[in-house]
Amino acid sequence: DSGVTQTPKHLITATGQRVTLRCSPRSGDLSVYWYQQSLDQGLQFLIQYYNGEERAKGNILERFSAQQFPDLHSELNLSSLELGDSALYFCASSASLISYNEQFFGPGTRLTVL
Amino acid sequence: AQTVTQSQPEMSVQEAETVTLSCTYDTSESDYYLFWYKQPPSRQMILVIRQEAYKQQNATENRFSVNFQKAAKSFSLKISDSQLGDAAMYFCAYYGGSQGNLIFGKGTKLSVKP
């Protein structure tokens, strides 16, 4: 158990819908990262938040957005869902802005878009 | 841009034998960190081993060791005395520069035969 929690574990929805994925980082960790794992693209970085502020953006679609709340939990919002958005979405956390040591990964949320 | 390449989509090893997983990367940075993550069927991402680029000594964690060749930009993972529980996807990852995120290779699926 990494100490990072993600809910829900599984999510099945239809095209065009909107979903919210939730992540609680390890106690004391200020940085939260979101990654998408799909069969064709592998593991790709989406976005990083540090202490409530967006710090880095990767290959995140405009239909996707995220935020980090004062209690440091984070939410990833996916809207106008397409079949290609089906993937495993990971949240990871680290203590600092620059994580040379380790990013701790949550168990992931499996999103299936039908 | 930094890239990470794992040229072996699948590998197989006999239980108790040794296997080496390959990883190459491309970067213009001089200071960076390299990781091997394991993803078993449970999907949890687990850190296996970490190497700091400025350290010449290869990292070792029990049965896991790396062969880090900085000039060749190569970072291979050696698993000794392979066990059935080692069967998983293994991802090589790069961390460096001013970015906060990990850059992953496509992964190598390791099977362990009893």
Question: One-letter amino acid identity for B16?
Answer: A
B9-34 mean pLDDT: 94
The residue of chain B with its CA nearest to that of A36 is B104
Distance from the A95 Cα atom to the nearest Cα atom in chain B, whole angstroms: 12
B69-106 per-position pLDDT tens digit: 999 999 999 999 999 999 999 999 999 866 668 899 99
Judged by a CB distance cut-off of 8 A, whether residue A108 touches chain B is: yes
Taking the CA of residue B114 and the nearest CA in chain A, the distance in Å comes to 27
Least CB–CB distance from B101: residue in A48, A100, A107: A48
Q: What are B22-71's pLDDT values in tens digits?
A: 999 999 888 899 999 999 999 999 999 999 988 888 999 999 999 999 99
Decide if A85 contacts A78 (C-beta within 8 A): yes
CB pairs under 8 A between A and B: 52
Looking at the complex, report in whole angstroms how far the Cα of residue A23 sits from the nearest Cα belonging to chain B: 14
Query: Which two three-digit tokens encode residue A64?
Result: 């996707």
C-alpha–C-alpha distance, residues B25 and B45, integer Å: 20
- Average the pLDDT over B4-13 and give the result: 96
Contacts of A19 (CB under 8 A, 6+ apart): A11, A13, A77, A78, A81, A111
Kindly give the pairing relationship between strand A10-13 and strand A109-113.
Answer: parallel
Closest by Cβ to A97, choosing from B45, B46, B100: B100
Q: Which of A26, A29, A37, A43 to mutate to test the interface with B (most CBs of B within 10 A)?
A: A43
User: How much is the pLDDT for A77?
Assistant: 98
| β partners of residue B103 | B94
Chain B residue with Cα closest to A99: B100
What was the pLDDT predicted at B98? Answer: 66
Q: Do strands A104-105 and A87-94 pair parallel, antiparallel, or not at all (unpaired)? A: antiparallel
Of B42, B50, B100, the CB nearest to A102: B50
Q: Which residues of A touch B102 (CB under 8 A)?
A: 33, 35, 43, 45, 103
Nearest to A103 among B91, B102, B106 (CB): B102
pLDDT tens-digit series, residues A40-95: 778 999 999 999 999 989 989 999 999 999 999 999 999 999 999 999 999 999 98
